[in-house]
Amino acid sequence: MRNVLSFLKPYKFPAVFAFSLMLTELAIELLLPFFLGKMINDGVLNQDINNITMWGSIMLGLAILSLAIGITNSFYSSHVSFAFGYDLRQKLFEKIQSFSYKNMNQYPTSALVTRFTNDVRQIQNTVFMSLRIMAKAPLTVIGGVTMAFIVNARLALIFLVTVPLLILFLLWIMKYASKMFMKVQQNVDNVNRVMQENLVGMRLIKAFMRRDYEESRFDEVNESLANTTKTTFRMIEASMPVLLFVMNVSLIIILWFGNIQIGTGQTDVGQVVTIVNYALRVTMSISMFSFIIMTLSRTKASAERIDEVFRVEVDLSDKPEAKPNLSITKGKVEYSVVSFSYPDADKLVLDNISFTLNSGESLAIIGATGSGKTSLFQLIPRLYDPAEGKIFIDDQPINTYQLNQLRNGIGYVPQSPLLFTGSIKDNITWGKTNATMEEIIQAAKDAQIHETIMALPDRYDTKVGQKGVNLSGGQKQRISIARAFVRKPKILMLDDSTSALDLATEAKLLNAIKIYQCTTLIITQKISTASTADRILLLDAGKILAIGTHEELLSSSSLYQQIVESQFGKEFTYVE
C-alpha cells in the first residue's frame, strides 16, 4: 500500500492544505455543542433573548465558515485524488507497456483491465475521502471524547467503555473483510475475463451455437461474484445494528446519570445536552468506521493488486552490453546453435538452429503446425531470448542492440493481424508515425491493398472497427503488411501473413517485396509461396531438417517432396 501511496508525493502541499482545512472544519464542529450548552444555560433557561441572539449569531457564523471551508476542502481533495489517479494509471500503463511476452503471460488481460479501472478508481476515491471524511471520523471520536471530558468528566466516563468496545468489535470485522475483498476483486476479474472472451469471440459463439454454454459459464462467475460480495457486505452491514444499540444504551446512561447530577446540583441542563451532542457525534463517527473499514479493506486489496504489477520484474530489457545508436543497417541475420524453450516449460521448442541469411536474401520457413516456426521468428525482435546459442544481426550479437533500435529495423507482421480502432491511415502510420501520405499510399500499393482502400467510402480515412471487424481477413493481413512496409525495414518478417490471399494477389505482393531490398523471412504453408524465396528452411519438431533452394530440397529432402506432392500432386516433383 505504501508503494502505491507514494504517488501522492507530488501533491503533498495541496493534500496537507486540504487536510488542515478539514481539521479547521472539525474544530468548528466540536465547538458548536459547547456553545449550544452555553446558549441553553445562559440564554434559554434565563429567558435572555440577547444572550440567545449572541450565541445564535456566533454559531451561525461558525456554521457558514465551516461550509466555506468544506467546499474549499472538496476542491483541493478532488484535485489531489484525480491527479493521483491520473499518475497511477499512467505509470501502470507504462509498466505494462514494458512487459515482455513472458510477463504478459503471467496476467490474463481481464486482470490487468480490472486493475486499470476498478482498482485505480478505488484507491483514487479513498484518497479523496481520506482528505474529506475518512480521517475526520476518527478525529471526531478523539476530539468529541476530549471535549466531553472537559465539559463534565464524570458523565464522559461512559465513553471509556463504549468507544474501545466498538473499536475492538470493528477491528475484528476488518480482519475478515480484507480477505473477503481480495476474493471479491478476483471474482470481478473472472467476470471481466468471461465477458471479454465473449465479446471478442461473439462471431465464433454464434457460428458454433454455443450461446447456452457461454451463458452458463457467465452465470457461474457472475453468481460467484454476487455471493462473495453479498457475504462481505452482510458481514459489514451486520455491525450497524450493534453500533446503534451501543449508542442508544450510552444515551440512556448519560441522561440517567445526568438527571441525578442535575438533582444534586453537580451539573446543569446545558452540560447534559452538550455531552449528549458529543455522544451522538462520537457514535455517528464510529458508525462511519464500518464504511471506512470497508473502503480501506477494498483499497488495501486494490493497492496490493496494483503493487503486484509494479513489482513484476521485466525480464526483457536492454542488456548492459547494448550500445546506444547501434542500428540495423544491412539486415544480415545469423542463428548460431540456438536452442529455445518457453519460460516455465521444459520442452525444447527450438533445438540447435544454425543458419545465415545475407542482407537482402529471402528465406521461407515451412514445417508442420507446432514445429516452432513462430518461436524462431520471435527471437529476432527479442520477444523472447534464446536459452542457448547466439543470434547475430549485421554480425553483431543481438544483445548489443538497444531494444528500440533493434525493433525499429524490423517489419514484423504477426500471424493474426491486429488492427486498432482508428482510420486505415492511422493503422498504416502506426508503423512509422511521421510517414507522408505518399509513403502511406506506396506502402498500401505494394501491399496490394490500395485499390481496395480507394473503393471504400472514406478511402484512407475509413474507420476501422475494433480489431478490424469491418474488414475481411485478407484485407486485414494486407493493411498489416502495409504497416510493416511503410517503415522500410531492413528485416521483413511475415508470419503466415499471406494465407488469406488469392494466388494472383499473393504473387504480386511477393514481387513488390523485392523492391524493398530487405532481408525477408516468410513463414508459410504454401509451396507456391516458399518456392519464390531464395532459400527454404524445413523445420520439424524444432530442428532444421533441410535448408536450401526449392530445387535442392526437392532432390534432397523426402519430407519436402511429400509436402510438394500433397499440394501439387505427384507430377510436380518431376517437372523440374
**Residues near ligand ATP, by CB under 6 A:** 105, 342, 345, 349, 367, 369-375, 415
Angle at 48 (CA atoms; ends 45, 52), nearest 5 degrees: 90
Smallest gap from residue 340 Cβ to ligand ATP (A): 9
**At 205, which amino acid appears?**
I
Cα–Cα dist 469/475, whole Å: 11
Q: Is 366 left (phi over 0), alpha (psi -120 to 50) or beta?
A: beta
Smallest gap from residue 341 Cβ to ligand ATP (A): 8
- For 191, list phi and psi in degrees, rounded to 5: -60, -45
Instruction: Name which of 15 and 521 has its Cβ closer to ligand ATP.
Output: 521
Instruction: Name which of 159 and 384 has its Cβ closer to ligand ATP.
Output: 384
* Residue 436 DSSP SS3: coil
Cα–Cα dist 23/17, whole Å: 10
Cα–Cα dist 565/571, whole Å: 8
Instruction: Name which of 301 and 501 has its Cβ closer to ligand ATP.
Output: 501
Smallest gap from residue 102 Cβ to ligand ATP (A): 8
Instruction: Name which of 92 and 538 has its Cβ closer to ligand ATP.
Output: 538
Smallest gap from residue 371 Cβ to ligand ATP (A): 4
Instruction: Name which of 332 and 373 has its Cβ closer to ligand ATP.
Output: 373
Closest CA to 232 of 174, 180, 283, 179: 180
Instruction: Name which of 464 and 539 has its Cβ closer to ligand ATP.
Output: 539
* Residue 523 DSSP SS3: strand
Question: Are the beta carbons of 183 and 303 closer than 8 angstroms?
Answer: no
Residue 493, Cβ density class (10 Å: 0-12 exposed, 13-18 middle, ≥19 buried): buried
Instruction: Name which of 17 and 560 has its Cβ closer to ligand ATP.
Output: 560
DSSP assignment of 291-354 equals: HHHHHHHHHHHHHHHHHHHHH--------TTPBTT---SS--EEEEEEEE--TT--S-SEEEEE
Closest CA to 393 of 521, 545, 523: 521
Smallest gap from residue 386 Cβ to ligand ATP (A): 13
Residues near 13 by Cβ (< 8 Å), separated by ≥ 6?
A: none
**At 342, which amino acid appears?**
Y
Instruction: Name which of 140 and 375 has its Cβ closer to ligand ATP.
Output: 375
Smallest gap from residue 343 Cβ to ligand ATP (A): 7
Instruction: Name which of 36 and 366 has its Cβ closer to ligand ATP.
Output: 366
Smallest gap from residue 378 Cβ to ligand ATP (A): 8
> Beta strand 519-523 with 362-367: parallel, antiparallel or unpaired?
parallel
- Tell me the C-alpha to C-alpha distance, in Å, between residue 142 and each of 63, 137, 241, 249, 278: 21, 9, 22, 20, 11
Smallest gap from residue 367 Cβ to ligand ATP (A): 6
Residues near 57 by Cβ (< 8 Å), separated by ≥ 6?
A: none
Smallest gap from residue 492 Cβ to ligand ATP (A): 17
Cell numbers for 245, please give them: 444499540
> Beta strand 491-495 with 519-523: parallel, antiparallel or unpaired?
parallel
Instruction: Name which of 10 and 370 has its Cβ closer to ligand ATP.
Output: 370
Smallest gap from residue 351 Cβ to ligand ATP (A): 11
What is the number of other CB atoms lying within 10 angstroms of the CB of residue 178?
Answer: 19
Instruction: Name which of 539 and 564 has its Cβ closer to ligand ATP.
Output: 539
CA dihedral 386→390→396→402, nearest 10 degrees, is 20
Smallest gap from residue 377 Cβ to ligand ATP (A): 8
Smallest gap from residue 511 Cβ to ligand ATP (A): 25
Instruction: Name which of 130 and 375 has its Cβ closer to ligand ATP.
Output: 375
Question: Are the beta carbons of 255 and 152 closer than 8 angstroms?
Answer: no
Cell numbers for 459, please give them: 478511402
